[in-house]
Amino acid sequence: MTWLASLEARTPPMAALAVSIVAVSTSAILIRFSDAPSIVKALYRVVFTTLLLAPFAVSRYREDLRQLSSRDALVAVVTGVALAAHFATWFESLEWTSVAASVTLVQSQPLFVAVGAAVLLDETINRRMVGGILVAVVGVAVMSLGGLLSGAATAGARPLYGDGLALVGAVMAAGYVLAGRSLRQRVALVPYVTVVYSVCAVVLFVVALVEVGGDGTSTVAALTAYPPEEWLLFVGMAVGPGVFGHTVINWALKYVESSVVSVTLLGEPVGSTLLALVLLGEVPDAFTVAGGAVVLAGIYVTATGRPSDA
C-alpha cells in the first residue's frame, strides 16, 4: 500500500470535506486581492492547479491514464467543459447583476444535484436530506438579502441576463459534481482531476482569448503582463481553492453522496465571510450572521441524514 493509499484509508471523508470548504473559502479573498480580469483569474487558477498535479499524474499514474476507457475519458472531458462553463458564466454574471442575486442563484446547485443524483445515480435522498438542502439554500438567500435591503448591491446593468448566467453556472456546477460522483467510483483521483482540469484550462483559455485585449493592448500582454504579486495570487488560488479545495472535494465524491457534497459547498460563503472579517475588516450584518447559521444548520441536517449514518 502506497503512502497515498494509506492516507486515503485513514482519512474520514467528512473531515476531508471540512478541510476542502475552508480551502475554497479563501477563493473570494484571493479574488478580491487580485486586480486581473475575472476570466484571467479563473484561467490561471485552473492552469496552475493542473501544473501542480500533472507531474504527479505522469510519474505515478501513467498506467491509470492509459487504461482510462474511452467512455470514462469522454465523460471526464465533458466534466471539464462543465467546470469551465461554471467558472465563465458565474464570473460573467457578476458583471451584469447584483452580487447578492448572483451568489444566491449559483448556490442553488444542491437542488439540481439532488434531482440528478436521484434520477441518474440512483442515490437515496430521504426527507431529512431534502429538508437540510432546502434549509441551507434558504440560509444563502438570507445572507444575500442583507445586501439587497441595505442597497450595497445594485440591480446591475442587465439583471435578467446576469441572473440567467448565474443559473447556468449552478446547473454546470451540479453537472460537475454528479459526473465526479459517477467517475470517482472507478477512476483514481489524480488521473481524473488531471483530465478534468486540463480540459477546463483549455476551454477557459479559448474564452480568455476572446474576452481580453482591446484598447490597444495585445492579447499576449492582456494574458501575461501582471506584476509578481498577481502571479503569487494566481498560485495561491491553485494551491488553496484548487488543490486543497476542489481536488479534495473530488476525492470525497468516491465516498460521500453527491447531494451531501453539494450542500456542504454552501459552507463556502460562511467561511468567506469569516475570512473577510479577519483579513479585510468587513463586518457582516445581521442577515449575513443569521443566514450563515442557517446554512451551517442545513449542512448538519443533510450530513446526518445520510442513509449510511442511519
Q: Is the dihedral of CA 137, 143, 145, 151 positive or negative?
A: negative
**Segment 271-281 mean pLDDT:** 76
**How far apart are the C-alpha atoms of 177 and 89, rounded to whole Å?**
17
pLDDT in tens, 185-207: 888 888 889 999 999 999 999 98
* Inside any domain, residue 175: yes
| Helix H or strand E encompassing 302 | helix 286-304
**Segment 122-142 mean pLDDT:** 78
* Inside any domain, residue 302: no
* Inside any domain, residue 263: no
Number of H helices, E strands in the chain: 16, 0
**How far apart are the C-alpha atoms of 243 and 261, rounded to whole Å?**
16
Q: What domain range includes position 215?
A: 15-125+151-256
- Tell me which of 19 and 144 has the higher pLDDT: 19
What pLDDT does residue 51 have?
A: 93
Helix, strand, coil percent values for the chain (each to nearest 5): 80, 0, 20
* Inside any domain, residue 267: no
Amino acid at 222: A
HSE of 275, CA atoms in CB hemisphere, 13 A = 19
What pLDDT does residue 98 have?
A: 60
> Per-residue pLDDT for 59 more than 60?
yes
> Per-residue pLDDT for 154 more than 50?
no
**Local structure of residue 187 (DSSP, 8 states):** S
* Inside any domain, residue 266: no
pTM of the entire structure?
A: 0.76
Q: Structurally, how many domains does the chain consist of?
A: 1
* Inside any domain, residue 227: yes
What pLDDT does residue 309 have?
A: 45
Amino acid at 52: L
Angle between helices 127-150 and 286-304 in degrees, nearest 10: 170
* Inside any domain, residue 3: no
* Inside any domain, residue 262: no
Q: ∠291-296-302 over CA atoms, to 5°?
A: 125
- Tell me which of 304 and 112 has the higher pLDDT: 112
**How far apart are the C-alpha atoms of 90 and 103, rounded to whole Å?**
9
